[in-house]
A and B are shown apart, each in its own frame.
Chain A
Amino acid sequence: MQITQDFWFLLFFVDFFLLGFVGVYAFYTYYKRLTELKKLQAEAYKKTQEILEEARNQSKDIFAKVEQKTEEILAHSQLFKTDMDREFRESLNKLADNYLQIVQEHSKKFTQDYDNILTSVKDQSLGKVILALDSIGVEIRNQLAEAKNELKAEMLKSLTKAQAEIENYKKAELEKIDQEIDKVVAQMSKDLLRINLSPKDHKKLVIQALDKAKQQGAFFL
């Protein structure tokens, strides 16, 4: 019985030791993996930085090259444009000169033809023109005389109308003045009458007024 208890106790200790060993080993393994992983991450970050730096440098070079190339192209195109302008101007000048020459030739010819025609027509037309001018002169004289008569009639009409209006206005104003005079004369007559009455007369009239008021029973005293 004593042996059996010791045996179980020993067995328990052995199991405990084995479990502890396995746990320590597992922790050690996990920690080691974690360290490796961190290291790997740091390396990857560093590598990425390097690649980015390299890419930045490369792009900078490319930009510089592109800029240089652009400037070259622009310089070339400017030169090309200047050449083109010059050539275009020259060809235009040339064309204009040619055109001018043609026009001058045609004008000269036309003038000559016109001179010839005019010379032939001149003699024929001169007689007709004199006749026509005479007729126009007569017509104009007639029209002028007619217009003069119409204007005179119109002026006379306006004058008559204006005179009538002036007369009416004068009449109306005189009537107004007459009315004013009537009023003034009436007022003046009354004022003169009042002024010409002596104070005694005035007082007498007031007392007469009181007497009449009494007769009419105006005072209930």
Chain B
Amino acid sequence: MMNKSTYLSYLLSLIKTKSYADEIIEKIDELKGSLYNRRVNLDKKMSELFSYELKEKIKAYSWQEQINLNDPESFGRFLTDLRNHIKSMPVISIKIAFYPDEEIVRETVSWFVENYGKNVVVDLIQDQDLVAGAVITFNDQQLDFSLKKKIGEKYKEEDWKRLADQVRSKDKINTPEVPTKNESLTGRIHQLLPS
């Protein structure tokens, strides 16, 4: 038999992003509003509001908590409790240089589970200016691990000027000679990338 925290953990593991967490909180509030309306079939309402998986997880957790779904008062308390659990999930804001697809969401959330054994909510924001890497914000602390920052630290304005001159001279003379990967600035930037 699974313990109490595992049921909740399974439920919370379905909530990965901040936008989804906000959406679920809104839906829980809507469900709470329908509890005392006898005309509303709660099971049907839950099917409308949540995905099948989430609904089943909520029901399993309520069963674990010995909540009578037909008792509006205790079910209301249960929903408030669940809402608070979701609301208190740690939110990690991560700026990345590419479109945040499902895969990266899954990977980042799994990383937190693997490393801290905790369910977190990630807020992935796309910012192409970063070039690559990520800027991580948690508890008002921001850490910049972007390639933009690394390039800025390693290459000064003169380097960019040299690169521009190289491009210019290449255009003017039209020589077939291209600097080797390691010599040119772009080559040196490539060295920053993971092998």
Contacts and interface: CB of A to CB of B under 8 A. Distances in A.
Interface of A: 178, 181-182, 185-186, 189-194, 197, 199, 201-210, 212-214, 216, 218-221
Given A193-B186, A213-B136, A203 B131 contact: no
Contacts of A208: 133, 145, 194
5 contacts: A205-B132, A205-B145, A205-B147, A205-B193, A221-B118
Contacts of B141: 218
Nearest to A181: B164
B180 interface: no
Contacts of A205: 132-134, 145, 147, 193-194
Contact of A193 (B103, B147, B167): B147
B143 A218 contact: yes
Contact of B168 (A181, A210, A213): A181
A181 B164 CA distance: 7
Given A186-B164, A202-B97, A194 B138 contact: no
B160 A185 contact: yes
Interface of B: 90, 92, 94, 96-98, 103-104, 107-108, 111-112, 115-116, 118, 120, 128, 131-134, 136, 138-139, 141, 143, 145-148, 151, 157, 160-161, 163-164, 167-168, 185-186, 189-190, 193-194
B136 A209 contact: yes
A201 B111 CA distance: 16
Given A194-B147, A205-B194, A209-B143, 20 more contacts: A181-B164, A181-B167, A182-B164, A189-B189, A190-B131, A193-B132, A193-B190, A194-B97, A197-B132, A201-B132, A202-B96, A205-B132, A205-B134, A205-B145, A208-B145, A209-B134, A210-B136, A213-B136, A221-B116, A221-B120
Nearest to B157: A182
Nearest to B133: A205
Contact of A206 (B104, B164, B186, B190): B104
Contacts of A214: 115
A181 B151 CA distance: 18
Contacts of A202: 96-98, 132
A182 B156 CA distance: 12
Contacts of A182: 157, 160-161, 164
B147 to A, nearest CB: 7
Lowest 6 A-B CB distances belong to which pairs? A209-B145, A209-B134, A185-B164, A221-B116, A182-B164, A186-B160
